[in-house]
Amino acid sequence: MVSLTALWLPILVSTVLVFIASSIIHMVLTYHQTDYAQVPSEDEVMAALRPFQIPPGDYVIPHAGSTEAMKSPEFAERVTKGPVAFMTVLPSGMFTIGKSLVQWFIYCLVVGVFAGYVASRAGLGDGGEYLSVFRFVGTVAFVGYGLGLVQSSIWYHRSWRTTGKALFDALIYALVTAGTFGWLWPL
């Protein structure tokens, strides 16, 4: 059995490579540009919402408050009348990406640690066969990068097309992680 500390190199290298791959996917390739649509009459919608000074957070409109309230005719009327929305409100001002990039890097590191942990406990040992390492690490990395995204389409009606693209990204990240671990697995 390989110790997790013996896997520091593939964990770190795969983190860096996934970070680079995700940067290329989001800055060079264009298939994520259609993930979010523009709201009709955007300026008017923004102007209408601005006076409420909605604090940053996640919201649902209309909000029932309880399961019992969801059964009421008043709530049914509000849902039917619409609009119905799940929304995330961010702080006003220009986006700053630094904090998100640091969090993404840490997340990639965590996925690498879990993938390495499972592979190290799978009995692969020193000099583990490339395909065996690839299979274990790739499966765990795909679960870490992708499967949780499906819940947003199921429960919050996020576009399945957008989720499908994110799952494709997760597959790329998993393959990069698996390939790196197979390449750098201790001898």
> How far is residue 16's CA from residue 13's CA, in Å, rounded to a whole number?
5
Both 147 and 171 in one domain: the answer is yes
Both 22 and 108 in one domain: the answer is yes
Both 47 and 121 in one domain: the answer is no
The domain in which residue 66 lies consists of 42-89
Both 75 and 138 in one domain: the answer is no
> How far is residue 69's CA from residue 18's CA, in Å, rounded to a whole number?
45
Both 117 and 167 in one domain: the answer is yes
Both 105 and 85 in one domain: the answer is no
Residue-by-residue pLDDT tens, the chain, 187 positions: 899 999 999 999 999 999 999 999 999 999 999 999 999 999 999 999 999 999 999 999 999 999 999 999 999 999 999 999 999 999 999 989 999 999 999 999 999 999 999 999 998 878 889 999 999 999 999 999 999 999 999 999 999 999 999 999 999 999 999 999 999 999 8
Give 112-145 as a DSSP string. Answer: HHHHHHHHHHTT--TT--HHHHHHHHHHHHHHHH
Number of domains in the chain: 2
Both 174 and 107 in one domain: the answer is yes
Instruction: Write down the pTM of the prediction.
Output: 0.91
Both 114 and 31 in one domain: the answer is yes
